[in-house]
């Protein structure tokens, strides 16, 4: 079972300071999702940096009172060149892109 969570994060004065395209909690893993139409290596690096800097403690929303043990960044896009696959893997991101008539998840790059 998974839970969709709020995607906008605010500071203590309720000013929006970060937004993600999706936030999902499944078991004890928090997935932070970012979508781009045309993925680039630079966008992959930015997504990885945002994921690495993410901390629930920074965001005081009461809706976000969740327990998790790990955070996984997920990058997805409609154009996802092979150099982006390699960079996402190097930076520890999961990634999705169109494969035939549906989105495929590159399982060979998923690490424990």
Is the pTM here over 0.75, yes or no? Answer: no
- Determine phi and psi for 88, rounding to 5 degrees: -60, -45
**pLDDT at position 109, please?**
47
- Residue 14 pLDDT level (bands cut at 50, 70, 90): confident
Give the per-residue pLDDT at 30: 83
pLDDT tens digits along 23-71? 888 887 888 899 998 999 999 999 999 888 876 665 555 555 566 678 8
The domains found in the chain, sorted by start residue, are: 2-109 (3.40.1350)
Top pLDDT among 93 and 2 is at 93
């Amino acid at each position: 079972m998974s839970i969709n969570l709020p995607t906008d994060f605010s500071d203590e004065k309720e000013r929006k300071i970060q937004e993600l395209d999706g936030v999902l909690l499944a078991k004890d893993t928090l997935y932070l999702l970012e979508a781009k139409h045309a993925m680039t290596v630079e966008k992959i690096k930015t997504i990885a940096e945002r994921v690495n800097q993410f901390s629930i403690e920074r965001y005081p929303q009461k809706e976000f009172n969740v327990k998790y043990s790990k955070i996984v960044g997920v990058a997805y896009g409609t154009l996802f060149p092979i150099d982006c696959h390699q960079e996402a893997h190097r930076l520890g991101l999961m990634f999705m892109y169109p494969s035939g008539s549906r989105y495929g998840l590159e399982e060979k790059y998923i690490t424990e």
